[in-house]
Each structure stands twice: as structure tokens, then as C-alpha cells.
Chains A and B, each alone.
Chain A
Amino acid sequence: MNTDISISQVLILAAILFSLGLIGVAIRRNVLFMLISVEIMLNAAGLAFIAAGAKWNQPDGQIMFLFILTMAAAEVSIGLALIMQIYHQHQSLDIDKVNEMKG
């Protein structure tokens, strides 16, 4: 079995993941699913970093992935807190009903 995975394959996978996340954020109406989609996008970016780090034999890619992981944890905690609030206020998680900040 060929264990060599070329960088382009990894990047394609990352791109697909990223696009899935992006589409998820754009078309999902449930806030919770939007948050999960954002997580997918972050992981896609992390995967791209790992691949790049492996390609050049540098630790930077893995370090960046650790950063992204940390940030994602923080982001999820804040995001979930906000979602809790939205649910308390509106008794719903539908993002289209939370449009009070009209111009």
C-alpha cells in the first residue's frame, strides 16, 4: 500500500472540507449547525497547515494547527454562550428570526 500521500491530494481534501463548511454556514438556518460548519472550515485550514508543514519538514505548520485548535476552543465556548442567549431571548435557533439590527 502506498503510504505516500501527495500534497495536492491533502490540499484538495482541505478545499473540499472548507467548501462544505462554507456552504453549511451560508445555507443552514440553525445557528448550531452554522457553528459546526465554522468548525469544519477551521479544521480544513488546520489540515492545510499540517500538509504544508509536512511538505517542507518544518514544525511551523503543526504549531499553527495548535493555535487554531486553541482558538477554536475559545470560539466554540463564546459561540455556544451566545447561542444560549439567543435561544433564551427568542425561543428559537432560526437565524432568520434574529434580524433586529436592521440598518
Chain B
Amino acid sequence: MQHLLWLIPTLPLAGFLILALGRYLSRTTVALVGVGSVSLSALITIIIGVNFISNPPPSGAYSQFLWTWFNASGFAPKISLYLDSLSLVFVFVITFVSALIHLYSSEFMIEDKSYARFFAYMNLFVFSMLILVLAEDLLLMYLGWEGVGLCSFLLIGFWYEKQENGLAAQKAFIITRIGDTAMAIGLFILFYQFQTLHIPALLQGASNKWQIGAPIACTVALLLLAGGIGKSAQLPLQTWLPDAMAGPSPVSALIHAATMVTAGVYLIARMHVIFERSPFTQHLVAVIGAVTLLLAGCSALAQFDIKRVLAYSTISQIGYMFLALGVGAWSAAIFHFMIHAFFKALLFLAAGAVIETQHHEHNMFKMGGLKDKMPLIFWTFLAGAMSLAALPLVSAGFYSKDQILWYAWSAEKGTAWLWLAALIGALITAAYTTRMIILTFFGESKTPLGHLPGMRITIPLVILAVLSITAGFIELPHNFGQVTIFSDLVQKTLPETRMQAGVESEFAFQLIAAIIGLSGIYLTWWTYAKNPGIIDKLKSQALPSTLHRLWFSGWFFDTIYNALFVKPFKTITSINKNDFIDQIYTALVQFTNTLNRILSLSQSGSLRWYIMGIIMGSIIILTLNILL
């Protein structure tokens, strides 16, 4: 069955082509093609996945060579797909979550005038993302990498009539481009070193040729990391993600939560050999993750817009994944990626449904009291929120996040500081999640309800809600029965986490994490539900209000970048508005124009002048001929 692998990316591509080229399709056809292509992909992925797990290929990976892209004196990147347990997990999450989100969109976007365009972009996005994770060659992966960047741009600016949406799209495109450039340079160095971009060959070569801590390994790892943080919205390139909420809600769910932003995580996990050769860079990954999860968590606490809360929470959760990658807990990072994809897609979709019924109101303070009016949305949202807040024992998020917390302390590369950062992050996560729930669903109703969502919106929500609760049970810590289905699978590709010698019992850490999470929930509930006045009182004081402004604006990163990069650049462009190099060409044009005016005077229309010209010309030429 594994030879069907090529169908997985091809189906969404076919869907894109049909939707992009076929004009005047009815809305039903568009929905059928758009949803159908991705759903079929998901179905094939499940079949291939079952087949892959039940009889794995002997080398642990299945490679399907399709054709040679081009051949330029020895550099012959191949279009070939590579399925191992790491890409299997990613492909499964991408196709499965995408299929649900497409189904949701088929109802959510029904009123939109660009229905076909939306599904075309979405299908193209799924195709690019699948190419990214299935590529066996780094160049092909880069194609997917840029493809998702393009689709992200197109979908953030989907409602392009509004100027700020276009600006948000440009911001996302330009900022991720910074990382992409670094990554491209990394690829050049890798090619220079190994004369190939074939990933297994690269990893093999790197582990044979490079010493641990070699400068070249460090350089390459840093450049790849820069690519990863651009796409995954980590510090210092995180500012594009909150603005990316300008796109439709399903886009936020698909691209800016579940799949695309985790491309950085995939890249680092895929190139793990190179990162292990450079302990400094790997530690940097962990530190970036830890700092990002704290900063983004604080920002999420101060937002009004429900989608911005979720956006900052995405940045923060990817910070957890980076932290796990940095301490060498590879499978924990991938596990958290999967769980996060489920619950964050759910939260965004449910938030989209809430916003829709609240007449496009994004401000949580103007919602409220939706618990009884839309119980299904409430319960599914609650399931996602529980997972996000890592409610002990009953939510999937608890198991994945607890694993990261545990490894941040106990893994060989873990430190107490990283653990502490992750722990504080867990407290903040619990706090902003509870705040969001209380403001949106409890209290008095402030905005009248619009029409309630139908089946195609609720079915994906229910499926994702079930997964957000139960998906954690495939990987349980060793004191809870030790289920290791997931890590067994992933560790066929990624190395096992190396532990420090003589670490304390895991149970104590789980208890601390659980208490921290619960106290975060309780504190927020106490503040927002029991004593609503306390926030206003706090805001009237100097320090908390400054802190609030700082967090609300995302730590002034936008302001700083504006002052540091955007303003100087704009100044330079305004000075050089009439590009001085352009002057040369303008002068050339003016010269020819003048010449034209002068010469066209000689075209007088008088035949006798022309004859005189011919005669004089002949005489001159003859004279010259005789003289010379």
C-alpha cells in the first residue's frame, strides 16, 4: 500500500488546479472538490499509516522516487517522497486536521463571494505542507517551505479589500522571509560541504564528518534555526503571527495553529543530527523556546481579541516544542505538536463559530453568557481549553506538556532554569485560558446571538474535542501505566531522550505541575468571576497598567522593530525616492527622446528635400570613396 504515497500530495494539488482553472463551478462542486481532495488524502494517509506500522520497511523508512527535478553538472535534486515515522505523524496530523477544517470551512465560508478561491488556496496550502514534510531532498522541502509561505500570504490577505489585512499579509511574508534567507544560506553551505541535499545522505555525512561542536556544524545549525524561528514565530521573529489573525478563522486554525507554524519544529527534528553536533545551538533552541513561551504567554493574558489570545498561545505552545527539541526530548516535542494541533485547531474553529454568531465581534469583553445559548460550542471549546491549560489526568495536553516539563529538568541537556520557565509558562497558560473561557462563555450576555452553526461546523468540533481529551492516552508516563505507543513509533527515526543520572521521582514533578496548573485556573476564576472589580483597581495603579500596556502590545516588539528597521528603511527610501541609479537610465531615455525630436524635424514631408538628401548623401559617399 505504501506505493500510494504519491497520491497524498497529488490529490490536494489536483483539487487546487481544478478550483483554480475551472471557472463558474457551483458552490456545491467547489465544496466537493475542495473538501473531497483533502479528505481522500487523509483516508489514504490512514491506510498507509496502518500499513506502515503493521509491517514497517526494513530500513525504517519508505522512499518513493518520482523523477529527477533537473540535473546541473552533478547537482541533481530528486522529486522523491520519504516516509518514516516522523513524517508519518506530520502527514497524518496535516491531512486529518486539514480535512476537518475544510469540512468546517465549507459551511463557514458559504456566504463568501470568493468561495472557490478560498478552497483553491487551502488545497494549495495542504499540498505545499505535505511536500514540505514528505520531501527527501532539502531543495524539494524548500519548495514546500516557500509554498506554505506563499499560501499563508494569500490567505492572511484573503479579504484584501481591507487595507490592514493586506498589510498583515505583507508583514507575515516579509518577516518569515528573513528566516527563509538564512535557511537558504544554510542549504548552500550544506551543499558545499556534501555536494548533495539528499536528507538521509546529509545526516549520514554530518554524523561521519563533523565533530561535536565543530564550527561548521554550529553555523549550519544556527542558519537552519533562523529559518525555523521565522516560520514558527519564535523570538525574535514572532511579531507576524498575532497580525496574521486578519485571515478567516479556518485559516488561523489550519495555518497559524495546527500545521504551518510547526514547520520549524519539523525542520529541527528532521535535521536533528546537525543540531546534536552543535550543543550550543541546541541549547539556544531551548532558551529561545523558554523565553518565547513566557513572553507570549504574558501577552496572551492582556489581549481583548479572542483570536489574538489564541495566536499568542500558539506562539507560547510552539515555544514548549522548541524547549523540548532543545533539551533533546525529540519525541516529546512531536507528541506535543500532535496534541497541540488537535486542541488549537479546535479552539480556533470554535472561536470562529463564536465570532460568527456574535456578528463578527472579536472582543471577549463584549461577549459573555454563551454557555447556555450555544452549549455544544461551549463544551467543545472547553475540551480544547482543558487541553491547552493542561488540566491534570483528563486532558491530552496534560500528558504532552507534563512530558516536556519533566524532560526540561531531567534530560541530559535540561536545566532547572528551563524547567522553571516551563512551569511558570504552565501557570500563565492556565490563567489566560481560564480568563478566555470566563469572559466568553460566563457572565451576562452582551451581544445578541446570530444564527447557530450547522452540522458541517459542529462535526469537526466534536471530533477534535474527543481527540483533545483522549489523544493523550497513547503516551502515558511510566508511573501511570507507561504507555509508549507514540514514542516507540517516533523513536524509530529520532534518537531516544538521554536522561541525567540519578534524577528524582517523576511523581513529584507531576504533582507540582498539576498544582501549578490548577492554581492558575483557580486564581483567574477568583479574579474574573468572583471579584470582577479587582482588575480595574489594579489597572488604575501605575505598575500594573504599564505592565498591561507592555503585554498588550506584545512587549513593544512592533514598536521597537518599527523604530529600528521600518523607519530607517522608510527614511532611506524617501531620500532616494528618485533612485539615483535610475537617473542614468532616465538620462538615456531623455537623450534618445531629444534625438528623436531633432531627427523628426528632417522628416518634412517635402519630397524635394528627400531627393536633395539622397543626392547629397550619394555625393558625399562617392567623394569619400574617391578620396580614401
Query: A96 near B615 (CB under 8 angstroms)?
Result: no
CA distance A43 to B604 in the complex (A): 30
Which B residues are CB-close (under 8 A) to A17? none
Report the minimal beta-carbon distance from B96 to chain A, rounded to whole angstroms: 72
Residues of A within 8 A of B615 (CB): 22, 26
**CB of B74 closer than 8 Å to a CB of A:** no
Chain A residue at minimal CB-CB distance from B607: A95
Contact call A99/B604, Cβ cutoff below 8 A? yes
Residues of chain A lying within 8 A (CB to CB) of residue B603: 101-103
The answer to whether A103 and B600 touch across the interface, beta carbons within 8 angstroms, is yes
**Residues in chain A near residue B607, CB distance under 8 A:** 95, 98-99
Contact between A95 and B605 (Cβ–Cβ < 8 Å)? no
Contacting residues, chain A, for B604 (C-beta < 8 A): 99, 102-103
Q: Inside 8 A of B612's CB, which chain A residues have their CB?
A: 26
Known: A22-B615, A26-B615. A100 touches B605 (CB 8 A): yes
Asked if residues B605 and A29 are in contact (CB atoms below 8 Å), the reply is no
Cβ-defined partner of A29 (8 Å) among B599, B600, B608: B608
**Is B602's beta carbon under 8 Å from chain A?**
yes
Among B600, B603, B608, B615, the most chain A Cβ lie within 10 Å of the Cβ of B608
CA distance A3 to B129 in the complex (A): 102
By a CB distance below 8 angstroms, the chain B residues around A26 are: 608, 611-612, 615
Q: Which residues of A contact B600 (CB under 8 A)?
A: 103
User: Is A99 in contact with B611, judged by CB distance below 8 angstroms?
Assistant: no
Say if the beta carbon of B606 comes within 8 Å of chain A.
Answer: yes
Q: B601 on the interface (CB 8 Å rule)? A: yes
CA distance A58 to B604 in the complex (A): 45
Give CA–CA (A103, B602) in the complex, Å. 8
Contacts of A29 in B (CB 8 A): 608
CA distance A102 to B603 in the complex (A): 6
Q: B596 — nearest CB in chain A belongs to which residue?
A: A103
Q: Mark A13-56, 1 if CB is under 8 A from B, else 0.
A: 00000000010011101000000000000000000000000000
Chain A residues with CB under 8 Å of B602's CB are 103
Q: How far is the CA of A29 from the CA of B608 in the complex (A)?
A: 8
Known: A22-B615, A25-B611, A26-B611. A99 touches B606 (CB 8 A): yes
A-chain residues with CB within 8 Å of residue B605 when the two chains form the complex = 99-103
In the complex, what distance in Å separates the CA atom of A23 from the CA atom of B601?
24
What is the bound-complex CA distance between A100 and B601, given in angstroms?
Answer: 14
Inter-chain CA distance A103–B610, complex, in Å, is 13
Closest chain B CB from A58 CB (angstroms): 25
- Chain B positions 281-315 with a Cβ under 8 Å from a chain A Cβ: none
Decide: A95 and B601 in contact? CB cutoff 8 A. Answer: no
> CA–CA, A14 to B604, complex, Å?
32
Q: In the complex, what distance in Å separates the CA atom of A103 from the CA atom of B599?
A: 9
CB <8 Å contact, B611 and A96: no
> Given the complex, which residues of B lie within 8 Å of A98, measured CB to CB?
607
Which residues of A from 62 to 103 have beta carbons under 8 Å from B? 95-96, 98-103
A75 to chain B, nearest CB (A): 16
The listed residue with most A CB atoms (<10 A of its CB), out of B599, B601, B611, is B611
B contact set with A: CB distance below 8 Å: 599-608, 611-612, 615
Q: Which residues of A are interface residues toward B (Cβ below 8 A)?
A: 22, 25-27, 29, 95-96, 98-103
A-B contact pairs, 28 of them (CB 8 A): A22-B615, A25-B611, A26-B608, A26-B611, A26-B612, A26-B615, A29-B608, A95-B606, A95-B607, A96-B606, A98-B607, A99-B604, A99-B605, A99-B606, A99-B607, A100-B605, A101-B603, A101-B605, A102-B603, A102-B604, A102-B605, A103-B599, A103-B600, A103-B601, A103-B602, A103-B603, A103-B604, A103-B605
Other than A95-B607, A99-B605, give 9 A-B pairs with Cβ distance below 8 A: A27-B608, A95-B608, A98-B607, A99-B604, A101-B603, A102-B603, A102-B605, A103-B603, A103-B605
